[in-house]
Amino acid sequence: MYTNDFDYHRADSVEEAVELLGDHDNAELVAGAHGLLPRMKTGDESPPALVDIGQLSGLDSIEELDDENGISVGALATHAEIAESEIVRERATALADAASELGDPPVRNGGTIGGNLAHGDPRSDPPAALLALEGTLEVRGSDGERTIDATDLFEGPFETAVGEDEVVTAIRIPTDDAVSGYRKRRDPLSGYAMIGVGVWLRTDDETIEAARVAVTGATTTPARLSAVEDELEGSAVSEETITAAAAAAGTELDADAFVSDVQASAEYREHLLTIDTERALSDALDVGQ
């Protein structure tokens, strides 16, 4: 299908992009455009204007900050660059895992992390990793700069807290001695996550001291699984703990929240969530391998 007519603008700076967004109602940003353009072609989205920031310099760096501030990933860093980054692989494994699982090679080489997260596709991989890692988005708009916590970012399917005149400039990930990972059950038709589970766990080898677990793909909005986290925290590092925690995966989510489509019913996704949560936890803790 063809898109509806739209105006096209290329910004030479973040400041110009913000100004262009303010000058054109309902305009959308594009960089890799692998999320937006397919929806424009199907008619799910029809923005009257596009503001291209794909050529801006300085927004694609991946940097290791100090111990307190973790790492910074520029909004224009591609999924392939993130998946291949030693810094991300060592200090935010869940994000590297999610980036390596996203789409296919053309999407990973062209799509950008900032656009992916701002787009808010509930089937995409990075949201679960960002939630588990407790990352933040740095954004700039007409009112200046601000930070959005991952837990406040996803407001609904394709709806995020990024404002209409705001540009994501970087993703910040706090890092420590915890382990993290992401496990995906790929939708065989679309390649999106039918179930994607991100985990972050801090242990003293024998006990799980803190845990964060998040899901994407299964529900209408990426979400933390607090019931799983509660089961894990303070428990021994063991197969029994992992099994009990995974069993709690669907207990806090309303049954209506689970997606039902031609690939899987809501009930089946709820069932798979328990299985894949257990596998993600086992992978990260190297238990039962």
Asked whether the predicted pLDDT for residue 91 surpasses 90, the reply is yes
Q: Quote the pTM value.
A: 0.93
Asked whether the predicted pLDDT for residue 263 surpasses 90, the reply is no
- Confidence band (pLDDT; 50, 70, 90) for 189? confident
Nearest to 128 by CA among 66, 193, 202, 174: 193
Per-residue pLDDT at 24: 93
Q: What is the DSSP letter of 2?
A: P
- CA atoms of 138 and 149, how far apart (whole Å): 9
Tell me the CA distances in angstroms from 189 to 13, 24, 186, 192, 230, one per residue in order: 38, 36, 9, 8, 34
Q: Which has more confidence, 207 or 38?
A: 207
pLDDT digits (tens, 9 = 90+) for 29-84: 999 777 777 788 888 888 889 999 999 999 999 999 876 779 999 999 999 999 99
Per-residue pLDDT at 37: 79
The tokens for 254 are 């309303």
Nearest to 118 by CA among 110, 127, 129: 127
The tokens for 248 are 């709690």
- Helix, strand, coil % (nearest 5) of the chain? 35, 25, 40
Residue 271 neighbours by CB under 8 Å, 6+ apart = none
Nearest to 154 by CA among 210, 217, 93: 217
Per-residue pLDDT at 288: 64
Per-residue pLDDT at 78: 96
3 state SS of 279:
helix
Nearest to 110 by CA among 192, 191, 34: 34
The tokens for 13 are 């700076």
pLDDT digits (tens, 9 = 90+) for 143-179: 999 999 999 999 999 999 999 999 999 999 998 889 9
Greatest mean pLDDT among 74-83, 249-258, 261-270:
74-83
- CA atoms of 18 and 38, how far apart (whole Å): 24
Q: Which helix (H) or strand (E) holds 79?
A: helix 79-84
Q: Is the C-alpha dihedral spanning 77, 117, 105, 96 positive or negative?
A: positive
In the Cβ-directed half-sphere of 206, how many Cα atoms lie within 13 Å?
0
Q: Is 19 exposed, middle or buried (0-12, 13-18, 19+ CB in 10 A)?
A: middle
Beta carbons within 10 angstroms of residue 261's beta carbon? 13
Nearest to 124 by CA among 42, 221, 39: 221
- CA atoms of 218 and 196, how far apart (whole Å): 7
